[in-house]
A and B are shown apart, each in its own frame.
Chain A
């Protein structure tokens, strides 16, 4: 994985020193909150319901064992013994003291991490496929390109005050495991007819109050023009994106209002101009980055077979393991969704354990997924049972990947100052309900996503079943959505009808699941059945 060079390290340490001074001046009363707020937000420090919250960037979700250990240490030393992994592959701490924030950033810098650009109207953490470098279906490892984009976008002077925040995802496979088309820019690395690598650009996607699926604006950008084309996309947005209305400031609104064709025309015009300026980083820089992502020392000829005589282990393999491109290896997902648990939360002890398991079993590397789980990307099949035996006692062995219990949920009103309703209690009740009924396996793949407000951090638009919490005259109320997807078949969920209270929405989810079980054809997922039979049978069951 990528290691900081002197330039990276100096940049991060300089920022720590700068923020330490700014924090001191705030604590001394020399800066007002109005003056300090934009400074702390530039370093990922929010003020939430109960305390300051620090969001730490995990570039394209990749962590070394040492970094995961450091995150656990921060949870223990500065927080309340846990952290929350987010839908943008980052981690958040909920109980931060302002006076300790600079020390945390200094600790992060020691393991080549930071919280820069995890807030504000800038280019945020670049996200990617959590199986990158391991997936059998990718045309190349997308991480070197994500890293190049990270370096280009870090402290980019022209794009540090965009009309609104800006999110980029990079993938390299036909199957989209990063919700790529629901980003401001989604990049899919592809091969053309000549076998050359390039990038397909999808621009103007997003969730929030106006969900949109990004249209394809260019099928193939040569990789030696990746940054130049990205710059052109951003420039047109920075020039014409709306700054008069926060709710219409995202690039999706610009692309929608101009039309994809006109937006593309302007990007191409800007692209031609930028090509002449020669702003693309030297190819040698990409080559330098690429050396950091060389294959680990896979052992050839390892056995493919796995002893599945332990039924619980066999079930876990079936659900939580993913095909690896290297024979004898497999990618493992550690579920952070135990029955009745808080999606995405991990204790310091669990983080330490996952760090050790990454070191012992996965070439010192793990990944944060946008579904709030952790992946060990390169595990020998012959060592899988030994690994699983260590997960189980730590509460990390839940076999529920992509099932109804593998719920994405934002922090909701339990933590977030923007939320209208709580998300986590619903996730807990729903996972308990389906665990008790024993229907999870019968339901198969069923992606359930919960947001506590219209900002959609819980990706409710993209859930096969989505739940949106709203404030109804001071009471929590929940809308049910069906038919969303963030995969290769990206679609946006539709609201079923009137909302429900907390108990009502849990019942409603079960009713919708039962409609699927009653009506599905052979091999159909929930989503497939919904698309075939439409909304009406579900509405009939829900509302009579």
Chain B
């Protein structure tokens, strides 16, 4: 699947296109398919998100969206060396999801 991501203009936070707006959580990301460039251009023009771009991802066994590249998995979670600052601070295995 192809999902759209970027950084929120005001906060810089990593965000994912959920079909209607931007979510902080990668599991909300939807497959934008062939519309990736169209949505990215529209959202870029709206100036809410910095430089949105499409990446490859897949749904894992639990149904969770998993970006194909480690860099985007780090973006989706947060720094693996500071679990307390990630989006899953209570999950001790969150870092393994990145690797």
Q: Contact: B13 with A51, CB < 8 Å?
A: yes
Query: What 1/0 mask marks residues of chain A from 33 to 61 whose CB sits below 8 Å from any chain B CB?
Result: 10000000000000111111000000000
Residues in B with CB closer than 8 Å to A29 are: 47
Instruction: Say which residue of A51, A419, A475 sits within 8 Å of B7 (CB atoms).
Output: A51
40-92 of chain B: CB within 8 A of chain A: 44, 47, 50-51, 68-71, 74-75, 78-82, 85
Q: Contact: A476 with B81, CB < 8 Å?
A: no
Q: How far is the CB of B58 from chain A (nearest CB, A)?
A: 13
Q: How far is the CB of A51 from chain B (nearest CB, A)?
A: 4
Consensus secondary structure, chain A interface: mixed
Interface centre among A32, A50, A95, A474 (most CB of B within 10 A): A50
Interface centre among B11, B71, B81, B99 (most CB of A within 10 A): B81
Q: Is A415 an interface residue (CB 8 A)?
A: yes
The distance in angstroms between the C-alpha atoms of A425 and B83, with both chains bound, is 12
Q: Is A258 an interface residue (CB 8 A)?
A: no
The distance in angstroms between the C-alpha atoms of A71 and B78, with both chains bound, is 23
Residues in B with CB closer than 8 Å to A47 are: 7, 12, 50
Residues in A with CB closer than 8 Å to B7 are: 47, 51
Residues in A with CB closer than 8 Å to B44 are: 33
Q: Contact: A413 with B12, CB < 8 Å?
A: no
Q: Contact: B80 with A52, CB < 8 Å?
A: no
Number of interface residues of B (CB under 8 A): 24
Q: Is A342 an interface residue (CB 8 A)?
A: yes
**Given contacts A29-B47, A342-B81, A414-B81, A474 and B68 within 8 Å (CB-CB):** yes
The distance in angstroms between the C-alpha atoms of A474 and B66, with both chains bound, is 14
Residues in B with CB closer than 8 Å to A308 are: none
Q: How far is the CB of B55 from chain A (nearest CB, A)?
A: 12
Q: Contact: A50 with B14, CB < 8 Å?
A: yes
Q: How far is the CB of A263 from chain B (nearest CB, A)?
A: 38
The distance in angstroms between the C-alpha atoms of A98 and B10, with both chains bound, is 5
Consensus secondary structure, chain B interface: loop
Q: Contact: A97 with B11, CB < 8 Å?
A: yes
Residue on B nearest A420 in the bound complex, by CB: B71
Instruction: Say which residue of B9, B11, B71 sits within 8 Å of A413 (CB atoms).
Output: B71
62-105 of chain A: CB within 8 A of chain B: 80, 94-99
Q: Is A187 an interface residue (CB 8 A)?
A: no
Q: Contact: A98 with B68, CB < 8 Å?
A: no
Q: Contact: A49 with B47, CB < 8 Å?
A: no
82-138 of chain A: CB within 8 A of chain B: 94-99
Q: Contact: B10 with A49, CB < 8 Å?
A: no
Q: Is A424 an interface residue (CB 8 A)?
A: yes
Q: How far is the CB of B29 from chain A (nearest CB, A)?
A: 17
405-446 of chain A: CB within 8 A of chain B: 413-415, 417, 419, 422, 424-425, 428
Query: What 1/0 mask marks residues of chain A from 481 to 511 whose CB sits below 8 Å from any chain B CB?
Result: 0000000000000000000001000000000
The distance in angstroms between the C-alpha atoms of A96 and B13, with both chains bound, is 9
The distance in angstroms between the C-alpha atoms of A66 and B68, with both chains bound, is 46
Residues in B with CB closer than 8 Å to A80 are: 85
Interface centre among B7, B51, B69, B85 (most CB of A within 10 A): B7
24 cross-chain CB contacts under 8 A = A27-B10, A33-B44, A49-B74, A50-B13, A50-B14, A50-B79, A51-B7, A51-B11, A97-B11, A97-B12, A98-B11, A413-B71, A413-B74, A414-B74, A414-B79, A414-B80, A414-B81, A414-B82, A417-B71, A419-B71, A422-B74, A422-B81, A474-B70, A476-B99
Beyond A51-B11, A99-B10, A422-B74, 20 additional pairs, beta carbon < 8 A:
A27-B9, A27-B10, A29-B47, A32-B47, A33-B44, A33-B47, A47-B7, A48-B12, A80-B85, A96-B12, A97-B12, A413-B71, A414-B79, A414-B80, A414-B82, A419-B71, A422-B80, A422-B81, A474-B68, A474-B69
